[in-house]
A and B are shown apart, each in its own frame.
Chain A
């Protein structure tokens, strides 16, 4: 796997519902963040639950938008439009997590 796709270390899946402002904002925010921090090492899959609702079951999606970090394991979920990039980075564990910042 490392030979065929050496660049992909971050497999991200973003669940949205249609073209709502929140969804659009989440997509924009995510792309920007990945380009800044994970350039060349990531893959984003945007899933519209209105089109494929059955996919909501596997990843236990309740809220939208939800960003799911499939790789690297363990799986992480970030709920919201990702407008707070600091919190998003903490959620993706791209920033060290001090015990107190976990609490909202």
Chain B
């Protein structure tokens, strides 16, 4: 059997996925990045999760921050460092070199550092070590040559000790680290980066090198929030999720019928797109209302309106979202897309979905994400969101605002290919009025209607009515449709009257004929009776004659014998 590289799981959300199991076990990993890119926290989390999840004790050697500051920093993430130190699972040691009080003369080495590190490792039986940031040695001591040879020895020594180490280094101009640490740590190099695009910062992580192991080569966005670091793999989710065959109602009868009778597939992704004021949110409200009626949990992510405003507006079409929220079935989450970066949004949403485990999630509208980043970023984010929701078998309902005049197919933040069912809303302007129409562009796996319907917002929700096609093939909606309906009704009624008249005439004729038939049958009966009685008389006359003749013959015979 091949002796493959052993890995040390970091426990950091998502990182173990892209590294295929973690950092190289028993070897040092170089973690580089600019200031404020999250190196220290990364190292801290590696140690703390090692203690909490894998029972591997840790040593944190800080060359910069004071232990007290570090403990306070991670306390905000809910980690109790002093507790771990008291439990002898964690050692934090600060190496501070005050250049002002130091004079260098002659040969020296960094054996003191080795001894301190070894002492700390032995004190808790550490398996994981973080050196943050060892490069400060270069600014503290002047003899760079000694430092270099000592660092080489240090990394070798760390390997000998069999500890999994993270060595952090400040990003340099044109090189990974200012002092070329990457020359010494060659097994695994992780780069952290923080970039600001259009005033929104996104943190990214990249595995620059991982000797002896396959790894994701992309730049992966990552987040730092109250739960620590989360790396978001873009393509970790494969397409192998099981799908549901259960159909559920949209809450609008006519729309269910248009989709083939019973509604949409549970866990599918639906897009409702249209220009401003076409009723996108109203359709979303129907979906939510229907789901809540079935007792399902829903999350409504609102990016443009406050929950209160949505509730109020939906009351005007007879949907009381507020009461579902009150019953704990509907969860509103409203925030401005521009308030944080896309990754933060994604992670916030994912966490809420994981926590509540809803059956339906509404994103209203997704088009506003384009404002929080570039369109490409927005698409990538939505793709991950949709993928995630599919893997959770959660229905996703996305609304998207299209700009009037644009081709609807162009302006869907490029996500239409990910969508199972796409409902398109149009604002039709003719004869001095606007009417809303609804059509289904596509619905995967469903025998859906290809006809447009007129969408009416009534006190009792959305009604979809058939569109009339005028004599010249024009579509009639609104009052034109009403007129056409009246005309049609008049025509129908005239036709109906004619039919009734004809039916009455037929009935009359039928009655007349039947009367005549009855009369003739009576005549026949009378005739029959007469003829039959005549026949009877004649028959009896015939038999009378025959009888007389027989009697005479007998009498003649009798007289003859006697003679």
Taken together as a complex, chains A and B put the C-alpha atoms of A27 and B292 apart, in Å, by: 82
Q: Which residues of A contact B5 (CB under 8 A)?
A: none
Residues of A contacting B105 with CB < 8 Å? 78-84, 87-88, 91
For chain B, residues 84 to 110, give those with C-beta under 8 angstroms from any C-beta of chain A.
Answer: 93, 95-97, 101-110
Q: Is B228 an interface residue (CB 8 A)?
A: no
**CB-CB under 8 A for A90 and B112, given A79-B141, A104-B142:** no
- Determine the chain A residues whose CB is within 8 A of the CB of B173 once the complex forms: none
Q: State which residues 33-85 of A face B: CB under 8 Å.
A: 49-50, 53-54, 56-57, 60-66, 74-84
Interface size on A, residues (CB 8 A): 36
Task: Pick the most buried of A20, A56, A57, A66: most chain B CB atoms within 10 A of its CB.
Answer: A56
Report whether B116 and A56 are in contact in the complex, using a CB–CB cutoff of 8 Å: yes
Q: Is the CB of B101 within 8 A of A74?
A: yes
Contacts known (A60-B95, A60-B96); A49 close to B103, Cβ less than 8 A: no
A73 to B116, CA, bound (A): 25
A15 contacts which of B109, B112, B141 (Cβ < 8 Å)?
B112
Contacts of B109 in A (CB 8 A): 22, 63-64
Do A62 and B101 touch (CB < 8 A)? no
Instruction: Give the CA-CA distance A25 to B106 in the complex, in Å.
Output: 10
A28 to B141, CA, bound (A): 24
B97, B107, B141: the one contacting A83 at CB < 8 Å is B107
A53-B102 CB under 8 A given contacts A63-B109, A63-B110, A80-B108:
no
Most chain B Cβ neighbours within 10 Å, of A15, A54, A80: A80
Shortest B209–chain A CB gap in Å is 29
User: For A22, what are the chain B residues with a Cβ–Cβ distance below 8 Å?
Assistant: 106-109
- A49 in contact with B112 (CB, 8 Å): yes
- Which one of A17, A54, A76, A83 contacts B103 once the chains associate, using CB atoms below 8 Å? A76
Query: In the complex, which residues of chain A have a beta carbon less than 8 angstroms from the beta carbon of B103?
Result: 76-79, 87-88, 90-91
Give Cα A26–Cα B563 distance, bound, in whole angstroms: 199
Q: In the assembled complex, which residues on chain B have CB atoms less than 8 Å from the CB atom of A91?
A: 103, 105
Inter-chain contacts of B104 with A (CB < 8 A)? 78-80, 87, 104
For A50, give the chain B residue with the smallest CB separation: B115
Instruction: Name the contact of B106 in the complex, choosing from A15, A49, A83 (C-beta under 8 A).
Output: A83
Chain A residues near B102 (CB-CB < 8 A): 76-79
What is the 8 Å Cβ interface bit string for chain B, positions 110-127, against chain A (1 contact, 0 not)? 111101101100000000
Cβ contact within 8 Å between B108 and A65: yes
Q: Which residues of A contact B96 (CB under 8 A)?
A: 60
Contact in complex: B106, A64 (CB < 8 Å): no
Task: Tell whether, in the assembled complex, residue B101 and residue A76 are in contact, meaning their CB atoms are under 8 Å apart.
Answer: yes
Q: Is the CB of B115 within 8 A of A82?
A: no
Contact between chains at A61 and B107 (CB < 8 Å): no
Residue on A nearest B118 in the bound complex, by CB? A53
The CA-CA distance from A25 to B96 in the complex, in Å, is 26
Report how far A31 CA is from B233 CA in the complex, Å: 62
Q: Is the CB of A49 within 8 A of B95?
A: no
List residues of chain A with CB within 8 A of the CB of B93: 57
Q: For B112, what are the chain A residues with a Cβ–Cβ distance below 8 Å?
A: 15, 17, 49, 56, 61-64, 66
Contact partner of B111 (CB less than 8 A), chosen from A29, A49, A54, A75, is A49
Q: Are A57 and B106 in contact (CB under 8 A)?
A: no
Instruction: Please state if B107 and A56 are interface contacts (CB–CB under 8 Å).
Output: no
B108–A56 CB distance below 8 A: no
Pick the contact of A80 from B97, B107, B116, B137 — CB < 8 Å?
B107
Question: In angstroms, how far is the closest chain A Cβ from the Cβ of B136?
Answer: 10
Given contacts A20-B111, A25-B106, A63-B141, 6 further A-B contacts (CB under 8 A): A25-B107, A26-B106, A63-B108, A63-B109, A65-B108, A81-B105
**3 shortest A-B CB distances, which residue pairs?**
A91-B103, A83-B106, A80-B106
Q: Can you list 22 A-B pairs with a CB-CB distance of less than 8 A? A: A17-B111, A20-B111, A22-B107, A22-B109, A26-B106, A53-B119, A62-B97, A62-B112, A63-B141, A76-B103, A77-B101, A77-B103, A78-B103, A79-B102, A80-B107, A80-B108, A81-B108, A82-B105, A82-B106, A83-B105, A83-B106, A87-B104
